[in-house]
Each structure stands twice: as C-alpha cells, then as structure tokens.
Chain A
C-alpha cells in the first residue's frame, strides 16, 4: 500500500526551479532510492515529502491526507513521531552526549528520562557504539557520529525514514557498515526509507530506484524491482 505519495510536486527557490512536477509513491516498508546528478532536486523532494518544505504546487499525501496543507506545528509533530530524518552530517547536538542525543526524540515525545536513556543505549548498542554513550560528538570520529545520528533517527521507530546522502561523508567501509545496519533495522520494524544518493553502490541496497533529472522523474532505465538484502517482497 502506498502510504506516502507525491503528486505533481513543483518547487522553486526564487527563479531557480528545483522540482518541475514529480509524482512518486513510497510503499509501506519499502526502501526507495532517489538518485540523479547533483542539483536535480533530490534534497528538495525529500524535504517536501518529509513536510520540512512546502511545495509551490502539487500535493504530498500521507495516508491519504494532504500533509502539505498542515500547519507547521502539525507537520513538526509528525516529524517527531512517524517520520525520522537523517542527513549527511552535523545533526547531533554538540553539548549533549551520544545517549542524550539519541534519547532526545523520546523525551520530546513524552517518554520518561530513565526509560529514554535505557532505550537510547540499546540503540547505540545496535549500531555498535554503546561505549560512546557518555561521549560528546566533538570527541567522536565522523563514522561514530553518523552511527549515533542513525540511532537517533530510528529510536522512535518511525514509519518513514528520510535519509539524504547518509553515507556521503564516510569512507566506503564505514558507510557500508552504517547502511547495512540501517537497512536491517528498517526491515525488522518495517520502516520505509527514502534514500537519497548519487552513488549506484548505495542505491543498490534499495528495493526500487527513482532517478531525477532536472527536477523531473527520468523514465529511461526504470523497471527495477528486484528484491534486495533481507527483502521479502
């Protein structure tokens, strides 16, 4: 079932068109790669889907509802509960330890302090960085920070994770480890992933790939629906 849908999305920045009519579906539990050259509109699309940006025209439908017309407060609540966001880097709060960073979305959702910390540490453990629970981002490597950020993006068990070049700043082995865990966890809890990447190697982890070109969907080269790692589709 399509739980998230973009219908004919149009978005410009001033005179620069970024999206010129993009339509796509994200099914429940599906990992969808969004690929294409730099500047083709991938990040803009992801921000519109996640309710961070409002499109100029077109619709974003979340379980059939017009997400793009919701108030900022309603969209931001959705991002705290049903959605998770993961960027290339620079998203951890510098003043907080790893455990505090990962616990943050839970605290915002009203979970008690002790329970939030315990859950956070479990998630750090899943990503192989439990020993960093009381360390601040400034004392971690890029790979360690990204593992923590990924744990934080998944800690609320969101229904959709929006990941914008999540391994773009990592060396290939570290990137692969982060991505492998991310994909495994997403499959376990049936979280959909919108995975923005310009790397074919990374897109190969998805169930399906949509390529953008100049703000529109490029239809040459579609039709790839092979089940991938841990995929049961």
Chain B
C-alpha cells in the first residue's frame, strides 16, 4: 500500500481524497481504501521523508493537505518496482488447514463434505467473476484485475478436485490403516 501511494504521487501531487480515488480507480477489484488508512500511511511516508506536504487546499470544503513525492520517495518507489516478489514460501491456507483437521477429528465423509462445499462456493464466485469480466462495461483495469482472481480460483478448484480424489488414501495414511483392495 505505501508503495502504491508513492506510485500514484509520481503522476502528480495529490491530497488524501484524490489518492483514495486514484487507488480505487486503478485497482478496481481491490478492497476500496479507507480514508483513515490513507492518512495514516501518508503520515508514515512523511516521517520517513518519502513525501512532503506542499500546501493546503480549500475550495469551499474542509482544508486539505496536498502531498508530493520526494527524491527519496522516487528512489524507494523505483526499488520496489525492481524487486521481484518472492513466490509465497509457505502453504498458508485456512482451507488446507481445515481439511487436514477434518481428517484428524472426523472422517473421510466430513473432509469430503468440507471440500465439496468449498468447491461450490469457489465455483459460484468464479462464475460471478467470469460474468463481470464479460460485462459490456468492463474496462481493461477490471479485466486484468478479474483475470488475476480467476486464475487463483481456477487453481484452488483444481486443487479441491484433486484432493477430493485423494481424501480416502489420505485418511488411511493419517490413521495408519492398511490400504484396501490392492
């Protein structure tokens, strides 16, 4: 988030409200920014010397402080853009944890029900996003953002499907039961 604000300021000085608006416009599928969040982040960025207040603006409404990117801010932004994001190092999924626990405390059917219910929820969301993406009003901002969500849901669904096929074997392994029928 701080770097996104730096990026938005790189296109011109802005006050808090303009920053929020620009953020929500560029990242339409992200959670909309709260004002409190914007101001708290701007304070931190100012403390670190990455942005400076350039003036007060008041046109009828309340007084608003406009901010500009500093040279240090530009360097920090550039460094962030150059850094490659590390792929997630841990498998940290509540869903995975839930299924693993279901296998421990309940039975195969419970774990399977858990996966199937999740699969239904994911499929419903995937359909919603697919419809959203193909709506006549969708801009490329929307499409690129929705594509990201679709790719992740698609991956989750593949995992859910594969795991549904593995649940029985997995349960046997967890409980050290001998395999049947082989």
Contacts and interface: CB of A to CB of B under 8 A. Distances in A.
B46 interface: no
B64 interface: no
A204 B165 contact: no
A229 B150 contact: no
A204 B113 CA distance: 21
A29 B41 CA distance: 52
Contact of A221 (B119, B126, B135): B119
Nearest to B161: A37
Secondary structure at the A interface, as helix, strand, loop or mixed, is: loop
Given A37-B165, A224-B123, A230-B134, A200 B158 contact: yes
B24 interface: no
Nearest to A219: B116
Contact of B126 (A37, A180, A201, A229): A201
A203 B158 CA distance: 12
Interface string B115-154: 0100110111011111100110000000000000011011
Contact of B124 (A180, A201, A224, A230): A224
Contacts of B131: 226-229, 231
Name the residue in A37, A201, A204, A231 with the highest tally of chain B Cβ atoms < 10 Å from its Cβ. Answer: A204
Interface string B161-177: 10011000000000000
Contacts of A100: none
Interface of A: 37, 180, 199-201, 203-205, 209, 220-221, 223-224, 226-231
15 contacts: A200-B154, A200-B158, A200-B161, A201-B130, A201-B150, A203-B123, A204-B129, A220-B113, A221-B123, A224-B123, A224-B127, A228-B127, A229-B130, A229-B131, A230-B134
